Copies of this chain bind each other. A is one copy, B any other.
Amino acid sequence: MKTQGSTLKKSYHHGELRQALIDAARQLINERQGNDFSLSDACRRAGVSTAAPYRHFADKTDIIAEVAAQGFVDLERRLREAADAYAPGAPERMVVLSEIYVTFGVNEPALFRLMFGQRPTLSEDDIVTAKGKACFAYVLQEVADYCTFHGVVGNAQMIAVQLWTMVHGATSLLIDGDYAKVAPQIDTRELIASCADRLLFSLPQRTTA
């Protein structure tokens, strides 16, 4: 258990406590899988007393809000990085967006639920919503670009929401173990690909003028 670099010395001031608490909370939320995580646990993990958080946060929900907001920032960054590996307009950009979304949910299921699911009433809910909107705006942009590039007729927002619905449903049913209970043999990747195909790639094309 080292602090900063190579020294083992435990200093009175933590230095990065705010972010350390957010990280600890994020880990615990994912480990406890929806059972409420406790602030005391996060303090234990960060190695500080249970009173320390109140130097950095108004209350517990303030930390939760920060975790959710950073979740959206992370998700958007990963989506951008993945999409940018392909040329503008490439169909692979659409495919990879779905894949990253699902992977994000599978890797941090409880964080995913916190971001998209029913949240407790949060003191800083506005920042969460703002980051969520930014993330969606990016996806919408990508879908709109795709439609323009391929001369797809139709409302890009409607198409984006439809794809989102499908992929979100798949992620939810996957991380909640519902597919496993009811249709264990299905191949989730294939399922999503097949749906996305019909929702996006077989849209009527504008006849080339």
The listed residue (B132, B181, B195) touching A166 by CB distance below 8 A is B195
C-alpha gap A169/B168 in the complex (Å): 5
* A117, B33: Cα distance in complex, Å: 11
| Those of A97-140 within 8 Å (CB) of chain B | 109-110, 113, 116-118, 120, 129, 132-133, 136
Is A118 a contact of B113 with CB atoms below 8 Å? yes
Interface size class of A (residues with CB under 8 A): 35 or more
**Oligomeric state, in copies:** 2
Binds B, one of A19-27, A48-56, A63-71, A155-163: A155-163
Segment from A8-16, A78-86, A144-152, A172-180 that makes contact with B = A172-180
Between A and B, 22 residue pairs with Cβ closer than 8 Å are A33-B118, A35-B120, A36-B36, A109-B118, A118-B175, A132-B178, A132-B181, A132-B182, A133-B181, A133-B182, A136-B182, A157-B186, A158-B191, A161-B183, A162-B191, A165-B169, A165-B173, A166-B195, A168-B178, A169-B169, A198-B199, A199-B199
